[in-house]
Structure 1
Amino acid sequence: MAIIITDECINCDACISECPNNAIYEPGEEWSYADETALSGTITLPSNGSEIDADEENEPISDEFYFIVPDKCTECKGFHDEPQCASVCPVDCCVPDENFEETDDQLLSKKAWLHGE
């Protein structure tokens, strides 16, 4: 499953540089699938099969605290043994997102999709 940042986030910035998928954004920041990934142009989302523009800027998921884009989160599978955001968070607000449950194989497939492997 993806990781979510709860409203207990203190916006300390510790997690953002740890994410190998550039899935974490500052409060109020627009985001795109193309940000720091191999994705560009029209892509098909592995989560639901819909086609979107990877370069399109999307509305922020949160205006109050850091947020994680679920379709870009792989729980650091293929990079690290554990989610790095959770390991560096001083207030333990990076937790599993029960709305986005995925197997290890799905997470590794998403990693390959994001990075063109």
Structure 2
Amino acid sequence: MALKILASCINCDMCEPECPNQAIALGEEVYEIDPARCTECLGHYDEPTCVKVCPIDCVVPDPEHEETEETLVKKFELLYQLN
């Protein structure tokens, strides 16, 4: 499942540069994660780096974008043109 950043985000700028898929960008008020690009770091790291670096634990699973591991793998392959 894609991740999302809660409104409690303090805009510390830790997550955006760590995202290997360039899925994180500053929104109108807080950072946002593009669910079309978020693979939970599958294919890059063992765990999502945005979750790991967030000092206030405001990165959580997005229930509106539930995905299986197979779906995340396919998304990763499409993002990097690996077939």
The question of a shared fold, defined as TM-score above 0.5 by the shorter chain, is answered with yes
- Between structure 1 and structure 2, the one with the greater Rg is 1
Equivalent in the alignment of 2:30: 65
Matching of residue 79 in structure 1 with residue 44 in structure 2: yes
Q: Compute the displacement of 1:115 (Å).
A: 1.1
2:23 counterpart letter in structure 1: A
CA distance in 2, matches of 1:66, 1:101: 20
Cα deviations by residue, 1:65-113 (Å, 9 ceiling, x for unpaired): 0000011100001111111100000010010001101011110110110
State the one-letter code of the partner of 2:11: N
Superposition map of 1:1-117 within 5 A: 1-27=1-27, 63-117=28-82
Unaligned runs of 5+ in 2: none
> RMSD of the TM alignment (CA)?
0.6
Q: Which residue of 2 aligns with 1:59?
A: none
For 1:11 and 1:70, locate their aligned partners in 2 and report how far apart those are by CA, in whole Å.
19
TM-score of the pair, normalised by structure 2:
0.95
Q: How many Å apart are 1:11 and its aligned residue?
A: 0.3
- What secondary structure sits across from 2:4 in the alignment? strand
User: Identical aligned pairs, as a percentage?
Assistant: 51
What are the superposed Cα offsets for residues 18-52 of structure 1, whole Å, 9 maximum, x if unpaired? 1110000012xxxxxxxxxxxxxxxxxxxxxxxxx
